[in-house]
Amino acid sequence: MTVPRLEDLDLSDFDFLDLGCSRGGSIRQCAKRFGASRGLGIDQDSDKVLEALDAGLDAALGDATSLELDGQARFVSMMDFLEHLPSLEMVERTLASAAAAATDFVYVFHPSFEGEDYLGELGLRQYWWHWKGHRCHPTVADYCAILDRQGLHDYMVRYLGPIHSSDHESIIPSTAPVDQHSFDRQTHGPKPSIVFPRAIWRAQEIFIALRPLPAGDWARITAPRDGGSD
């Protein structure tokens, strides 16, 4: 199968673009959540694009960090993508590119990197903080600074999955090897039981409005997924 390229497609056929789509799960999630008719996934990995196509989804090979598009999609989504970029400068470039490509809003979902210094002092970390693929660890403060520099002042941040203590499965000792998952005592050894006096989270999502939207539309866009808070 020939891998389609972004520049060869008629984007008027699509309602939204999903950057870093991988095998396409995020395309389905965003279509359902935001009531979209048809989404196009974009990824630099041709094998992943082919897997998405084999799953019956629309996907194309392209550089998601530099779309060079002007208002050709209703929205642009990025789920578990920006943390894989090499730097905050590239994150900013990608957000600016996404904002230029959409007319209504940009949606970002990513694992939380809040509290790294704090947990590090306790000899702990969240397991995804030490994944080789997570080359950049943007915090909410980083996103706020980037959006302000880009003149994107109308946005909302939702914190997901509060973690109240080190007993949570996502918390592992900082001495654990790289590329780990949920806490396993046999694999990771013991960890102290500590109630956190400050907020630690599993993820954040960011909604960025690109034009004035009716209050009802914005409420539907920013509604918690599946009606829940995490």
Question: What is the three-state SS of the chain?
Answer: CCCCEHHHCCHHHCCEEEECCCCCHHHHHHHHHCCCCCEEEEECCHHHHHHHHHCCCEEEECCCCCCCCCCCEEEEEEECCHHHCCCHHHHHHHHHHHHHHEEEEEEEEEECCCCHHHHHHCCEEEHHHHCCCCCCCCCHHHHHHHHHHCCCCCEEEEEEEEEEECCCCCEEECCCCCCCCCCCHHHHCCCCCCEEEEEEEEEEEEEEECCCCCHHHHHHHHCCHHHCCC
pLDDT at residue 229 above 70?
A: no
pLDDT number for residue 190? 96
Choose which CATH entry (3.40.50.1370, 1.20.58.100, 3.30.70.3280, 3.40.50.150) describes domain 65-113+132-161+201-227: 3.40.50.150
> What does the pLDDT average to over 11-27?
94
pLDDT (0 to 100) of residue 97: 96
Query: Each residue of 36-88: pLDDT tens digit?
Result: 999 999 999 999 999 999 999 999 999 988 899 999 999 999 999 999 999 99
The pLDDT of 185-212, averaged and rounded, is: 97
Q: Residue 225's pLDDT is what?
A: 82
Distance CA 149, CA 140 (A): 14
Q: Phi and psi dihedrals of 71, rounded to 5?
A: 60, 40
Across the range 156-175, mean pLDDT stands at 98
Q: For all residues of the chain together, what is the average pLDDT?
A: 95
**Structural domain boundaries in the chain:** 65-113+132-161+201-227
Q: How far from the centroid of its chain's Cα atoms is residue 24's Cα?
A: 14
Instruction: Estimate to the nearest angstrom the gap between the alpha carbon of 188 and the chain centroid.
Output: 27
Here the tokens at position 152 are: 């994107």
How do residues 108-160 score in pLDDT, each as one tens digit? 999 999 999 999 999 999 999 999 999 999 999 999 999 999 999 999 999 99
